[in-house]
Structure 1
């Protein structure tokens, strides 16, 4: 990192007027600025707000490929950082740029580090965000695992299923909310029970509009069609909220063939023998005709 000449000269003085600024860029492109100074600053074209009251722990920069971290703490009172947005995952993997700024002359600043938000913990009306250095991207699994289940996401480029087709998508409205993650809905009466299990639900109206949920169960009982969502936090769901929905897949080869007619694009290894077959031995009455283990 190279300090600009103006900031370097200022840091060489007996008395300095520096502060930290943090620019957050969320995955959806929203940008916000926060500073530990007591007034707003405009730095590098971004306005950094003081009311967020962010403060940072001691930072370190290590040699090698170890992941360096620094914690940023602040209240949930800012209009820019809300508890419901954190719960909805809008700040997951957001980019955070940390600046050292001369608040007397904001044009003199230096970019100290660029990191991404990792773990976020909340306590009362405060949050602590762990900022991970760029080397954390090296600590990720790359390549594929060899297994019987498909490792593609339904509808992505590797899968190839067009989920926009009427038989794989639908829309509806919440008619009852009987449990935290259990909904009774309308609009899905024409689909077989289980058709949307493991699928996704995207809210098109209400407090959660724009958010998506994973469906763990789709069934029908005496009260109508019911959807069970994966546990989540955020704004409450209410009667009248509208949604769109996409079919689900359990990643099995049989489902890929029967439900989606997409066996040629199956991204797993369904005929792979398991450990039981690998360590077995020939026995009388066994079938050894060379046919696939999974039809």
Structure 2
């Protein structure tokens, strides 16, 4: 047993939502485990894994140094690592094929940046139990355009375009919108340039000009390839007039609310 303890190494695999995967280990040399090469990362230090016996969420933290390696300050600020899936395991570094012990998996939660390092919180799958189990009523639709509840076909509502000009939150494309404010409340996904892999929320659109809710994380060069996805303002009138999808509207616009007595003068 003592030999196993002396030759134990911790490995963790991080998979970003844009498909990028990083595999690291606290050992002093790279390890190959189940066909995956785990790179030695002496500057990344995990805390103890807190495992709960009940339904409380498993948590741990990872502290690391910022640099030009796997975790760069600009990428953390841009949100490239937000919600990334993390799987942890322990191996015998003297013979990685002899035995692999899974320690758990989860997703990256809060990230704190310091002067020359970062601390990332890892939340286990039990954290999903903290979400509300039922929805609150609302006048606006609670579905997302094109999801399983909305059921609007999105195949013809995603279009590729190239950036003609960029200034702050305003992005001008080389093609115009199909209908007025078609991309308002939609998404612009970056397929090229420094922002590749990121997505920006669109506040409104007017012809070929899109106004984003926040400026892109990195500078945008003319000719950058993007994909724009139509949006919806979640109002019943829009659902009926533009999409013809009232049967799947997930809101209660006619349900009286707490402001019922103050809606009309003299009430």
TM class by shorter chain equals 0.7 to 0.9
Paired with 1:30 and 1:142, the residues of 2 have a C-alpha distance of 32
| 1:100-115 alignment, distance < 5 Å | 100-106=90-96, 107-115=98-106
Deviations 1:215-242 (A, max 9, x none): 012236xxxx432112265332122213
- Could you tell me the TM-score, scaled by structure 1's length? 0.76
Q: 1:232 to 1:130 in 2, by over 3 A?
A: farther
Q: 1:242 to 1:100 in 2, by over 3 A?
A: closer
Deviations 1:110-130 (A, max 9, x none): 323333221122334532211
Match of 1:198 among 182, 185, 192: 185
Paired with 1:122 and 1:170, the residues of 2 have a C-alpha distance of 36
Equivalent position of 1:212 in the other structure: 199
Equivalent position of 2:245 in the other structure: 262
Q: Work out whether 1:43 is the aligned partner of 2:33.
A: yes
Equivalent position of 1:231 in the other structure: 214
SS in 2 for 1:275: coil
Q: Work out whether 1:185 is the aligned partner of 2:176.
A: no
Paired with 1:56 and 1:171, the residues of 2 have a C-alpha distance of 41
Q: 1:156 to 1:97 in 2, by over 3 A?
A: closer
Deviations 1:46-82 (A, max 9, x none): 2211146310123333332222321111234364444
- Could you tell me the TM-score, scaled by structure 2's length? 0.83
Alpha-carbon contact 2:14-2:87 (below 8 Å) kept: yes
- Number of corresponding residues: 266
Equivalent position of 1:4 in the other structure: none
Paired with 2:126 and 2:191, the residues of 1 have a C-alpha distance of 37
Alpha-carbon contact 1:117-1:130 (below 8 Å) kept: yes
Paired with 1:124 and 1:36, the residues of 2 have a C-alpha distance of 23
Paired with 2:257 and 2:125, the residues of 1 have a C-alpha distance of 38
Alpha-carbon contact 1:174-1:239 (below 8 Å) kept: yes
Unpaired stretches in structure 2, ≥5 consecutive residues:
none
Alpha-carbon contact 2:80-2:198 (below 8 Å) kept: no
Q: 1:25 to 1:240 in 2, by over 3 A?
A: closer
How far 1:198 sits from its partner (Å)? 0.8
Paired with 2:59 and 2:66, the residues of 1 have a C-alpha distance of 22
How far 1:149 sits from its partner (Å)? 0.8
Equivalent position of 1:32 in the other structure: 22
Equivalent position of 1:272 in the other structure: 255
Alpha-carbon contact 1:87-1:233 (below 8 Å) kept: no
How far 1:103 sits from its partner (Å)? 2.8
Paired with 1:43 and 1:189, the residues of 2 have a C-alpha distance of 49
Paired with 1:169 and 1:42, the residues of 2 have a C-alpha distance of 40
User: RMSD of the alignment, in Å?
Assistant: 3.1
SS in 1 for 2:141: coil
SS in 1 for 2:155: coil
Paired with 1:183 and 1:101, the residues of 2 have a C-alpha distance of 49
Equivalent position of 2:121 in the other structure: 130
Equivalent position of 1:54 in the other structure: 44
How far 1:211 sits from its partner (Å)? 3.2
